[in-house]
Structure 1
Amino acid sequence: MRILFAGTPEVAVPSLRALVDAGFDVAAVLTRVDAPVGRRKVLTPSPVAVAAEDLGLAVLKANRFTPELIDHLGTLDLDAAAIVAYGGIVPPAGLAVPEHGWINLHFSVLPAWRGAAPVQHAVLAGDDITGATTFRLEEGLDTGPVFGVMTEALEPGATSGEVLERLSHSGAILLVQTLSGIDAGRVTATPQTGEPTFAPKLTIDDARIDWFQPAVAVRRRINAVTPEPGAWTTLDGQRVKLGPVAPLASGVGTAPGTGTAPDTGGGASRPAPGALQVVGREVRVGTGTEPVALGTLQPAGKKMMDALDWARGAATRGELVFE
């Protein structure tokens, strides 16, 4: 089967490699143009472009489907196109090029979480199950008929980055199976059923933590935006980036209170929302319900560090409260 592969980020690379390993004839790889990366804004090829060149495949770079690009795709004699997180809309003229259409690997169990950030929204919502779906791309947003689905449990403490890493590999197997089935005439697509939910891209504003929310909501939001766009809060007007938080390892009382002084009594009053408190080797932050334990954080102008190391030094400034 002769295919085009379209993808851009690291999460798409396992699918490209799996298709090559499975013996598919990859006529070309379509990815987005080199983008500025880092503080120096160095133009850098996408992870898919790097992988494609490593595999000796022809690479096409484009952020949109121009008439010239569509004409070129028409010369490749494509049976199908596989697309994984390409990051652009395929217009009707492009959809019509391959004989079997465009087969999209999407990281949710459709029709749940249609859109750009399905895993982030699944984590944010506290879903028990996640997975991936292969479907035929059409003009609607992730509305096309489904070829195959795989599912797995979504662990409560997992970040979206960890979930995507796992799904990128299990989903690659599903994509290979789907295209192999299409090639052999064994697989047909069926319409999606059920009420859809939607997963727009999460912004940096969405990643700010509201400490008045319940602890479970705080944990889910931090996990959902880790690693991108990255959870954050402020301290004395300065932005602080946050790593994942955890439930408390030791007990906590119910009386209100704040503070950062170490507690040597094995228990502590409950800190107010956003207030920090060191209890033994645990750095607690108050929420709308029970506190959570900080793991790592990155103060403005510094590197990510262990929360306990930071808190011991910062406690000399007096009471610390995230805003």
Structure 2
Amino acid sequence: MRVVFAGTPAAALPSLDAIAESSHDLVAVLTRPDAPAGRGRRLVPSPVAVRATELGVPVLKPPHPRDPDFQTQLAALRPDCCPVVAYGALLPQEVLDIPTHGWVNLHFSCLPAYRGAAPVQHAIWAGEEITGATTFRIVKELDAGPTYGVMTERIRDTDTAGDLLARLAEGGSQLLVATLDGIAQGGLDPREQQPEGLSLAPKILVEDAHVNWSAPAAAIDRQIRACTPDPGAWTTFGGVRMKVGRVSPSDVVIAPGALEVTKSSVLVGTATTALRLGTVTPHGRKEMAAADWARGVTFERDQRLGD
């Protein structure tokens, strides 16, 4: 089939590479426009745009899929199908109607669970043991189209959202190619999603990542892992925001937010047992081991995280 791949972040790269290596004819890549990044706010292309250029594939960067010039370009490419992985913009119906076999999205959950922008983060935060990835045909309603295939993946006790997304991106790339193969061969019919098990996974905002040390240790651990690397779990110390990296359990019981500091570790209290801080990122500084941070801090009496 002639395909136009749509994607933007690094999580889409395994699928782009897999399609480029498949029997399908990758005629173009659609991605979001260059965006400002770094201290200088210099415009930089998306990871998908960079990889497509390396592959020698034409890149389309419309300001929005509603753009008439883009729609004309896409129609002229005569795509049979448009596979999508985290493109990042809503597709209007007139664009959905262009490819013969529609737009096939790789979504990082077992639909209908966790429809939305942050399925991996929400699965970890909720304490799920199993998640996965699903291919489905895009329709106007968010992540509600009929499904083609699914893969499953166990969520490990130490998984951050970044860890889990990386595995799903690799495994999902093979699922996406297999789905395209099945569509091309004419033997793969999508099945409508059932209402049972439907849940939503909206984008996690910075304010959502604020750690409440009065919660149980297990819940805090899931929150921190779900928010790593983005948007980054955070707390305050001395009224100043500080990011919190991985934590590990302990048997110590101290008051929520209270700190117990030794030469080699920093414990912080929760509603249950204390958590051992792994890394922290003080405001304006680089990530560092919590013990290194503590050695450079003068602690006041009864000072706590989240004060």
Instruction: Give TM-score, length-normalised by structure 1.
Output: 0.92
Within 1, Cα distance between the matches of 2:140 and 2:296? Answer: 55
Within 1, Cα distance between the matches of 2:278 and 2:87? Answer: 33
1:294 aligns with 2:277: yes
Within 2, Cα distance between the matches of 1:138 and 1:109? Answer: 17
1:32 aligns with 2:32: yes
> Corresponding residue for 2:197?
195
Within 1, Cα distance between the matches of 2:187 and 2:298? Answer: 65
- Structure 1 segments, 4+ long, off by >6 Å, are none
Within 2, Cα distance between the matches of 1:315 and 1:289? Answer: 27
Contact 1:126 1:156 (C-alpha < 8 Å) held by counterparts: no
> Residues 184 and 230 from structure 1, CA distance in 2 versus in 1: closer, same or farther, beyond 3 angstroms?
same
1:313 aligns with 2:296: yes
Instruction: Give TM-score, length-normalised by structure 2.
Output: 0.96
> Corresponding residue for 1:41?
41
> Corresponding residue for 1:14?
14
Contact 1:275 1:322 (C-alpha < 8 Å) held by counterparts: yes
Structure 1 residue 223: deviation in Å? 0.5
Q: Residues 131-150 of structure 1 correspond to what in structure 2 (within 5 A)?
A: 131-150=132-151
Structure 1 residue 317: deviation in Å? 4.7
Quick one: which of 209, 212, 217 aligns to 1:210?
212
Contact 1:131 1:149 (C-alpha < 8 Å) held by counterparts: yes
AA of the residue aligned to 2:279: T
Structure 1 residue 72: deviation in Å? 1.4
Q: Which stretches in structure 2 are left out of the alignment for 5+ residues?
A: none
> Residues 300 and 318 from structure 1, CA distance in 2 versus in 1: closer, same or farther, beyond 3 angstroms?
farther
Within 2, Cα distance between the matches of 1:233 and 1:46? Answer: 31
Q: Which stretches in structure 1 are left out of the alignment for 5+ residues?
A: 253-269
> Corresponding residue for 1:264?
none
Within 2, Cα distance between the matches of 1:62 and 1:220? Answer: 37
AA of the residue aligned to 2:249: P
> Corresponding residue for 2:64?
64
Contact 1:29 1:57 (C-alpha < 8 Å) held by counterparts: yes
Secondary structure of the equivalent of 2:209?
coil
Within 2, Cα distance between the matches of 1:30 and 1:185? Answer: 25
Within 1, Cα distance between the matches of 2:122 and 2:2? Answer: 34
AA of the residue aligned to 1:3: V
> Corresponding residue for 1:261?
none
Structure 1 residue 280: deviation in Å? 6.2
Q: Residues 209-288 of structure 1 correspond to what in structure 2 (within 5 A)?
A: 209-248=211-250, 251-252=251-252, 270-279=253-262, 281-288=264-271
Q: Residues 153-164 of structure 1 correspond to what in structure 2 (within 5 A)?
A: 153-164=154-165
Secondary structure of the equivalent of 1:309?
helix
Please provide the CA RMSD for this pair: 1.2
Deviation digits for residues 217-268 of structure 1, max 9, x if unmatched? Answer: 11111111100001111011111111011112xx42xxxxxxxxxxxxxxxx
Secondary structure of the equivalent of 2:191?
coil
Contact 1:63 1:88 (C-alpha < 8 Å) held by counterparts: no
Within 1, Cα distance between the matches of 2:258 and 2:59? Answer: 51
Identity of aligned residues (%): 50
Structure 1 residue 279: deviation in Å? 4.7
> Corresponding residue for 2:125?
124
> Corresponding residue for 1:75?
76
Secondary structure of the equivalent of 1:205?
helix
Within 2, Cα distance between the matches of 1:271 and 1:314? Answer: 20
Q: Which has the larger radius of gyration?
A: 1
1:114 aligns with 2:115: yes
Deviation digits for residues 52-86 of structure 1, max 9, x if unmatched? Answer: 00000000002411122112111111110001000
Deviation digits for residues 189-224 of structure 1, max 9, x if unmatched? Answer: 001122310011000001110111111111111111
Secondary structure of the equivalent of 2:297?
helix
Within 2, Cα distance between the matches of 1:186 and 1:31? Answer: 30
> Corresponding residue for 1:260?
none
Within 1, Cα distance between the matches of 2:263 and 2:296? Answer: 15
> Residues 118 and 60 from structure 1, CA distance in 2 versus in 1: closer, same or farther, beyond 3 angstroms?
same
Structure 1 residue 278: deviation in Å? 2.1
Bigger shift: 308-317 or 157-166? 308-317
Structure 1 residue 318: deviation in Å? 4.7
AA of the residue aligned to 1:213: A
> Corresponding residue for 1:266?
none
Within 1, Cα distance between the matches of 2:44 and 2:186? Answer: 40
